[in-house]
Structure 1
C-alpha cells in the first residue's frame, strides 16, 4: 500500500495517469450532451489537463512533455468518439493549444500559479477566456473546412463548454501547491453535506428553473469559510454532479428542455452559465475572504507587536491623543512615570491636564493663545512635523518632574490631523546635573577670567618694574665703566677686581631685565620683529664672538662650523642673535669643564623639498630628562638637574627662543640624553628671493 502511494507521488506516474484520464474523459464527453444537443455542455478533459499543467508550475520541460502527451491522448479520444483520424488529430492539437495558452498566461515571468489575490483571479479568468477562444476559433475552422459545418455556432458552443470546464477544474491545480491556512472544523463538514444535499435535491429532481441556483448560497457560505483547496474540490464535485445529472435528463435545465420551455442547445448554455457563475462567485469570495483573513492576521500581528513595543518602553512615556487632546493611548512607561493607570485616563483625560498649569499659561501667553491643549501642538498641522521641548508634568501624587517631550501629528490618508503622539522621557535628574555642570563651568570661567586679569596685572607689573630698574642700572654700569677707565684716578688691582664684579653682576641683572621685558611683549602679542634679508652666517659669527667672556675662565672645547657663503634669511638680526646667544650660553652653563660645545650652520631641504637654514648647538653636558624635555620651552621652567646643581637662570631663555623662532616661521627641536648632553636644532626658511648657490645637505 505504501509503495503504491509513493509511486503515485512521482510526477511521471501522475502525468501518465492524467493523460489516460484526458483520453477517458474526452472519449465519453459526448454523453454530457443533453438530449437533442449536438455539443457537450462540459469538456472535463480540458479542465483536467490544464489543472495538471498549473500544478506542474513554470517548469517548461515538464510542461512540454504534458502538452505533447495531450496531443496524442486528445487525438485518440476524438478518434474513439467517432471522428476521422485527420479530424481527430486537428482536435488534438486544438485542445493542446488551449492548454498551452492558459499555462503560459498563468506562469508568464517564471511565477508559480496562485490564487492569493483578486488580481490572480482576474489573471485566471483572462487566461481561461483566451484559451477557450483559441480552442473555439480552431474548432470552428476544423468543422468548417473538414466537416462542412457552420463556423459560429460550433465556435460559440465549444468556447463556453471549455471555459466552464476550465473554471471548475483548473483551480484544483493551483490549490494543490497551496498550503491549508484554516484548520478543519465541524462547520466545514456540515457545509459540505448541505451543499451536496441541496445540489442533489435540485439537480436530481424534476423541479423547475426558479430553484436552479439554490446551491449557490451554500457555495458562498463555503467560500467565506473554507480555504482554496477545499473550495476547489467542492467546485469540481459540483460540476461533475450538475453536468452528469443534466446529461441524464434530470434537474431544472434538462426538464426545461424536455418540456419545450427552452431549446435543447439552450440547456447546454444554461448549464455552462451555472457552472461559470458558481466558479467565479465562489473563487472571488474565497480569494477575498483569504485576503481579509490574512489582513486581519497581519493587523493582529502588527497590533500585538506594537503593543509589545509600547509596553517594553518601561522608562519612556508614549501617549496618544485624538485631535482634541483626549488621551487614546497610555503605555506602561507613562504609567510608571506618572502613576496613572491606562484605564483611568484613556478616553476621559485631556493630556494638557498632565502639565504644570503655570507653565502651560506662560507658553500660551508667549504664543498668544488661550491655555489649553492647542498650546502643546501649536504649529503641528501636517505630517513630518514634530516639536521637542522640556515640559513639567504633574504625577498622580502631585510630584513635579521635568520631561523631554517630542510631539508629532497623526494624519489620515487625506492629510488631515486626526490625533497626536507624544514620546517623553524623565530628564529631571539630568537637568539638575546639567544645571550643576553649567554652574561649575560658570565658576571656572569666572576663575579663569580672574586668573587672566591677575596674570595681566603681573605682566604689567613686571614690565613697569623692569623699565624702572633698567634706567638706574644703566647709570650704575656707566659709572662702573668710568671707574675702570680711571676717570677718578688710578685704582689698585683689588679695587679693579671689585669694580669688575660689580660690572659683571650688573650686566647679568640687565640681561634678566631685558628677558622680562621681552617676555612681557611676547605675552601681550607685541613681539614686533623688523624682518629684512640678513646673513645668518654673519649673525652666528657675531654671537659666537660675544660668548667669549662666558668661556674665558672655563676649560671647554669650543667648535664651530659655519657656512662660508652667505646664508640669507628674512628676519630680525637682533632677535636671531638673541636666539643664538641664549642657546650658546645654556650650552656653556650646563657643560662642566672638559666638555665640548659645538655650533654648526648649514642649509638643508625639509621633507617637502623646501630650502632651510639649519642652526645646531650641541654640548656634552648634563643633558635633560625625557620628562623635562616636554616642558623645557615653557616660561619659568627650570629642569630638575639645573635646580639640583644650582645653575643660574630664570627659565625664560628657551621660551623666548621658541617665541622668536616661531615668529620667523621656523622650528626648534631638542634631543637629549641625561648625562650625555643636549642638541638644539633650529630651522629657518631661507629668503625666498635668494636661492642658495651651492648644494643643500
Structure 2
C-alpha cells in the first residue's frame, strides 16, 4: 500500500492538487480481513502510510495530514458498512451483498470528499470543490475495483473453454492499447467495457477481476505517461489539470459497476442451475425408489416414455415391453366408458385424459388392466407437462393400488412437489437468462449509438477539419463501432426469437425490391476492392407475403458474408429466380468456403469456421442462425453447398403469392 500510494501521488500531473488514484481499496481490504482487536493498530498504520506517501509525494504537511485523516476514517467507515460489524470475510455473491458493496463505497466517497473539501478550504490548497470531486472519484474507483479481491466471490469455475479464454485475453491485450493510444477521442475508451463484460460473463470471478485490474492499471500507466484520451483533456478544453484524474477515475468506476454485478449474476445463475440439477436427481431417485407406485410418463401423443419399477410391479409388464406403446393398453374399453360417464365427458380416451388433467382430478379412481388380464383399481393422478410457453409436451401419471398403498401416499406427494419445483426452477433460470441478455444488450446499445453520432460529427468536420490520417482513424473507429452495434442488434434479435419471436406484419411486397435494397446497402463494402459482383433480377415482380425488412436482412446477411469471406480478385453472384410457387434467392461466392467436417455446425449460434479464424475475418457467428430463423418464420428453407478454398453458395426458397 505504501509503494502504490507513493506512486499514485508521485504520478499525479504537475500542477495538480490531489493525490492521483490513491489505493484506498487496499486500506479498506486490510480492515476487512483483520480481526477486531487489530483495528486500532491498522488504522494507525493506514494514517502513517497515507500521511507519508502524500507528504513525500510533494504535498505540504498540513494537506497531507488532512488527506490522511480522511483516508483513514473512510477505510473504517467503508469496512464497517460493508461487513455490518461482522469479523469474517464478507461475501460478494448476492444482490444484498452487491447493495452493501455499492452503499459502502458511496459512503466512503462522500466522507473523503468532505475531508478533501475541508482540507482545501483550511489550507488554501487548490479549489475546495475540485479537490473534493477529485478525491471522491479516485477513492470510490479504488474501493470499487480492489474490495472484491478481499471478499468471498461467487464460487464457480470458468465456463469458457480454454480456446475462448485465450481469445478473450488476446482481445483484452489488443483492445486496451488501442483504446488508450488515441488522444483525440475520449469515448473510444469504452470499447474495452464490452470485452470486460464478456470476461465477467464467461470467466471465473478471480480471472474477470484480474482483467479489470489489468485494464485499469494499463490505463493509469498510459494516462500518467501522457497517452490516451484523458491525458490532454485539460489542455484541449482549458480545464484544471486534476480533471484528468477525475475522468480516469470515472472510467474505472464505470468498468467496476459493470464487471462486478455481471460476475455476481452469473454466479447466481450457475448456483440456481446446480440446485435444479440436484432436484432433478432427487426426483429420479424418488421415482426409481417408489416401487409401490406406478409412475408412467408419456409424450404428447400418449406413447409411453417412462415406466418405473413400481409400474412394473403393479401392472406386471417389463419396461421394455411397453416403451413406445400407447397407454390404452392398460385399460379396458369398459373402464374408459365408466370413467367418461363419471366425469361427464364423451366416451373417448382423449376426452377422459383431458378432463383428468384439470384441477381437482388428483387421486381419482381408475381401473388398470395388468398383463395377466386382471383389473385393479388405482388411485391415479394425471399431470400435463408443459414448456415455458405453456404448450403440452407430455403427461405423467402416478397411481397406486388402493388396497395396499396408503402408506406410500406421502412419497407420491413428495415426488409430485419436487417435480413441479424442478420444472419451475428450470423455467425461472431460462427466463432470467433471456431477460439478462436482453437487458445488457439494450444498455450497451445506447452508448454505442452515442459514439457513432459523435464519430459522424467528427468525420463531417463539426469540430474542425481533420487531417487525412485523422479521417482514416475516425473511419476505422466508426467501422469497429458499427460491428459492435451489429453484434448488439444480433443479440437483441436472438432474444426476441427465444421469447416471443419476431414482431412483424404480413404484407405483400415485391421481393426484387428487398434484394435490390440489400444489394445497395452492402455495395460500399466492395466498391474499393477488386471484386466482381453481379446482380440478376427477373423482369416481372415477385410478390411475397411477409416482412420486407426481415427478408432484406436475410439478403444482407448472406451478401455481407460473401463479401467478407471472398478475397480480392474473387467474384460474387446474387440472383433471384421464380420456380413454380417458390422464389429462390441465390448468393454464391468464390471465397474461402467451409470445411466439410464443419458444415453441420454452420447454422449454430456463435459458430465460426476454422478458416474464418485463420484468416482473422471478423464476425459474431450469429448472422446465419438469425437468417435461418427468419426464413423458417416465413415458411421457407435455406440450404448451401461449399468446398474449402472454392467458395460457397446459399439458396433461400420462399413461398410466393399466387
Which TM-score band (shorter chain)? 0.5 to 0.7
Match of 1:235 in 2: 212
Q: Decide whether aligned partners of structure 1 residues 368 and 112 sit closer, same or farther in structure 2, where only a CA change above 3 A counts.
A: same
Distance 1:109 1:267 in 2: 36
Equivalences for residues 166-565 of structure 1 within 5 A: 166-175=143-152, 181-182=157-158, 185=162, 187-204=164-181, 206=183, 208-260=185-237, 264-319=241-296, 330-334=307-311, 337=315, 339=317, 349=326, 354-371=330-347, 372=349, 375=352, 381-382=358-359, 387-394=362-369, 399-407=373-381, 422-426=397-401
Report the CA distance between 1:356 and its aligned residue.
2.5
Report the CA distance between 1:198 and its aligned residue.
2.2
Distance 2:188 2:136 in 1: 26
Report the CA distance between 1:425 and its aligned residue.
3.2
Q: Decide whether aligned partners of structure 1 residues 262 and 381 sit closer, same or farther in structure 2, where only a CA change above 3 A counts.
A: farther
* TM-superposition CA deviations, 1:369-396 (whole Å, max 9, x none): 22345546868754xx56435432245x
Tell me the number of residue pairs that the alignment of Structure 1 and Structure 2 aligns: 400
Distance 2:346 2:49 in 1: 86
Return the match for 1:49 from 27, 35, 39. 27
Report the CA distance between 1:237 and its aligned residue.
2.0
**8 Å Cα contact 1:102-1:127 kept in structure 2:** yes
Report the CA distance between 1:29 and its aligned residue.
2.0
Distance 1:413 1:121 in 2: 33
Q: Secondary structure at the match of 1:114?
A: coil
**8 Å Cα contact 2:12-2:18 kept in structure 1:** yes
* TM-superposition CA deviations, 1:568-625 (whole Å, max 9, x none): xxxxxxxxxxxxxxxxxxxxxxxxxxxxxxxxxxxxxxxxxxxxxxxxxxxxxxxxxx
Q: Decide whether aligned partners of structure 1 residues 366 and 50 sit closer, same or farther in structure 2, where only a CA change above 3 A counts.
A: same
Q: Decide whether aligned partners of structure 1 residues 271 and 317 sit closer, same or farther in structure 2, where only a CA change above 3 A counts.
A: same
Q: List runs of 5+ in structure 1 lacking aligned partners.
A: 1-20, 432-697
* TM-superposition CA deviations, 1:161-202 (whole Å, max 9, x none): 111111111111115x87563489454344234313321333
Match of 2:44 in 1: 68
Q: List runs of 5+ in structure 2 lacking aligned partners.
A: 407-658
Distance 2:137 2:180 in 1: 20
Distance 1:316 1:107 in 2: 51
Report the CA distance between 1:403 and its aligned residue.
4.5
Report the CA distance between 1:27 and its aligned residue.
2.7
**8 Å Cα contact 2:17-2:125 kept in structure 1:** no
Q: Secondary structure at the match of 2:376?
A: strand
Give the CA RMSD over aligned residues: 3.9
Matched, 1:93 2:72: no
Report the CA distance between 1:37 and its aligned residue.
4.5
Q: Decide whether aligned partners of structure 1 residues 131 and 410 sit closer, same or farther in structure 2, where only a CA change above 3 A counts.
A: farther
* TM-superposition CA deviations, 1:426-462 (whole Å, max 9, x none): 578999xxxxxxxxxxxxxxxxxxxxxxxxxxxxxxx
Q: Secondary structure at the match of 1:229?
A: helix
**8 Å Cα contact 2:316-2:372 kept in structure 1:** no
Report the CA distance between 1:269 and its aligned residue.
3.1
Report the CA distance between 1:339 and its aligned residue.
3.7
Matched, 1:130 2:104: no
**8 Å Cα contact 1:377-1:407 kept in structure 2:** no
**8 Å Cα contact 2:154-2:268 kept in structure 1:** no
Return the match for 1:30 from 9, 19, 22. 9
Report the CA distance between 1:34 and its aligned residue.
4.3
Q: Secondary structure at the match of 1:82?
A: coil
Distance 1:174 1:72 in 2: 25
**8 Å Cα contact 1:33-1:41 kept in structure 2:** yes
TM-score between both structures, scaled by the size of structure 2: 0.53
Report the CA distance between 1:248 and its aligned residue.
1.0
Specify the structure having the higher radius of gyration (Cα).
Answer: 1
